[in-house]
Amino acid sequence: MKQVAILGATGSIGASALDVIARHPQRFRANVLAAHRSVDALVALCARFKPELAIIADPAFEAALREKLRSAGLPTRVASGSAALTEAASGDLCDTVVAAIVGAAGLESTLAAARAGKRLLLANKEAVVMAGPLLLDALRAGGGPIIPIDSEHNAIFQCLPSSPSNQGQHSDFAAAGVQRILLTASGGPFRGKRRDELRAITPDQACAHPNWSMGRKISVDSATLMNKGLEVIEAHWLFGARADQIEVVVHPQSIIHSLVEYADGSVLAQLGNPDMRTALAHALAWPQRIDSGVAPLDLLKLGQLNFQAPDRATFRCLDLAYAALAAGGTAPVILNAANEVAVTAFLGQSLPFLAIAELIEETLAAIPATPVSDLESLIYADLTARQQAQRIMQRSYC
What confidence tier does 212 reach under pLDDT thresholds 50, 70, 90?
Answer: low
Please tell me the predicted confidence (pLDDT) of residue 144.
94
Cβ contacts of 300-309, under 8 Å, gap ≥ 24? 302/253, 302/255, 305/251, 305/253, 305/255, 305/256, 306/251, 306/252, 306/253, 307/249, 307/250, 307/251, 308/187, 308/249, 308/250, 309/249, 309/250
What confidence tier does 169 reach under pLDDT thresholds 50, 70, 90?
Answer: very low
Return the amino acid letter for 54.
Answer: A
Q: Is the Cβ–Cβ distance between 141 and 153 less than 8 Å? A: no
What confidence tier does 171 reach under pLDDT thresholds 50, 70, 90?
Answer: low
Return the amino acid letter for 17.
Answer: A
Q: Is the Cβ–Cβ distance between 343 and 217 less than 8 Å? A: yes
Across the range 159-180, mean pLDDT stands at 68
- The rounded mean pLDDT for the chain is 93
User: At residue 381, does pLDDT exceed 90?
Assistant: yes
Cβ within 8 Å of residue 163, ≥6 positions away:
157, 287
End-to-end CA distance of the chain: 54
Across the range 126-138, mean pLDDT stands at 91
Helix/strand/coil percent split, the chain, to 5: 50, 15, 35
Distance (Å, whole) CA 126 – CA 108: 11
Across the range 147-173, mean pLDDT stands at 75
Q: Is 90 exposed, middle or buried (0-12, 13-18, 19+ CB in 10 A)?
A: buried
Cβ within 8 Å of residue 394, ≥6 positions away:
none
Mode of pairing for the β-strands spanning 53-56 and 28-35: parallel
Please tell me the predicted confidence (pLDDT) of residue 309.
96
User: At residue 58, does pLDDT exceed 60?
Assistant: yes
| Lowest mean pLDDT across 147-151, 185-189, 235-239, 321-325 | 185-189
pLDDT in tens, 382-398: 999 999 999 999 998 86
Dihedrals phi, psi of 18, to nearest 5 degrees: -70, -30
Q: What pTM does this model have? A: 0.91
Q: Is the Cβ–Cβ distance between 27 and 285 less than 8 Å? A: yes
User: At residue 291, does pLDDT exceed 80?
Assistant: yes
Please tell me the predicted confidence (pLDDT) of residue 174.
76
Query: What is the DSSP track for 84-146?
Result: HHHHHHHSTT-SEEEE---GGGGHHHHHHHHHTT-EEEE--HHHHHHHHHHHHHHHHHH---E
Q: What is the number of helices (H) and of strands (E) in the chain?
A: 17, 11
